[in-house]
Structure 1
Amino acid sequence: MRKIITAFAILLSCMAFSQIKVLPTTPLERLGRVGTNDVYIQKEGTQYTFFYKNIENKDDESIRNFTFKNIDNDFENFYKIIMDGFNANPIYDIKLELPNDYVWLHYTKTTSKLTVQFMTTNKVTSSTGVSEMMTIEDVKKLFEKS
């Protein structure tokens, strides 16, 4: 009888510790940024997330983001789309559909500079956001291009 109780106690203690499971994680890598965290990119495996301060409402300086996976070299294609927009004549906005968001690349030409900003709408929550204006140099810095 003692052996049965001891075996049961050992089995019970093993079951109690088996509730915790270590899951594999993917390291986060922070890529380029513009300003003091006004716009930055974070990479997790094949997923890229763009974070930006929302300037749409000055009272609410929340951080917004949009995400996509790097399927078929989408990260480089996104960079190329932005850069091609700077060279377009006439200048026009570009609307992109991502898995969870719509992203507009809004180009503006001031007296001496051409800038772009992200304007996003989340498909589920319908929340919107607008990033700071970025020059060509800022975009190159964001995507870590020389």
Structure 2
Amino acid sequence: MKKGLTVIMFLFCAMTGFSQIKVLPTTPLERLGRVGVSDIYVQKEGDTYTFFYKNIENKEDINIRNFSFKNVENDYENLYKIIIDGFNASPMYDIKLELPNDYVWLHYTKTTAKTTVQFMTTNKVTSSTGISEMMNIDDVKKLFEKS
């Protein structure tokens, strides 16, 4: 009986000793398409898509900028369609998108050789801005993992 009481006391002390540590559920992080080494890439966490890009607005500032949104009503595929449709628009114009935390402009440029698009972002809270590298239509397909 004395040994049983000792074992119970030991287990009780052990349980209270570890009660400060909790294992929290996590959602896996999935890196999707990318352009360049790490110039622009997409990351998925649960139903949230985040686009990361090197800011070329200030060459001395090597910060990575990002914008994200939840995939409500197939928004990830809709963004792809909006970008691709912009390559074929006539006349060509910038497209302004409002996301939960950011404004994103799809800035299209057409030269004799090719048409490109850039992300130009402004954060609604911090007012920080950023501009991505230019992407051609093949880069956009690679970013969204389309063939």
TM band (smaller chain): over 0.9
Who is 1:117 aligned against?
Answer: 118
With 10-19 and 69-78 compared, the bigger mean Cα shift is at: 10-19
For 2:105, give the aligned amino acid.
Answer: W
Who is 1:17 aligned against?
Answer: 18
Q: CA deviation at 1:12?
A: 4.2
Which residues of 2 match residues 9-88 of structure 1 at below 5 A? Answer: 11-88=12-89
Q: CA deviation at 1:11?
A: 3.5
- Tell me the percent identity: 76
For 1:118, give the aligned amino acid.
Answer: F
Q: CA deviation at 1:23?
A: 0.8
Q: CA deviation at 1:110?
A: 1.4
Report the Cα distance in structure 1 between the residues aligned to 2:39 and 2:125, rounded to whole angstroms: 24
SS at match of 2:73: coil
Report the Cα distance in structure 1 between the residues aligned to 2:50 and 2:26, rounded to whole angstroms: 17
For 2:134, give the aligned amino acid.
Answer: M
TM-score normalised according to structure 2 size = 0.92
Who is 1:131 aligned against?
Answer: 132
Report the Cα distance in structure 2 between the residues aligned to 1:140 and 1:14, rounded to whole angstroms: 53
Report the Cα distance in structure 2 between the residues aligned to 1:140 and 1:97, rounded to whole angstroms: 22
Q: CA deviation at 1:111?
A: 2.0
Which residues of 2 match residues 82-97 of structure 1 at below 5 A? Answer: 82-97=83-98
Who is 1:140 aligned against?
Answer: 141
SS at match of 2:60: coil
Structure 2 stretches of 5 or more lacking a match? none
For 1:50, give the aligned amino acid.
Answer: F
Deviation by residue 1:83-123 (Cα, 9 ceiling, x = unmatched): 11111100000000001000000000112110000000001
Structure 1 stretches of 5 or more lacking a match? none
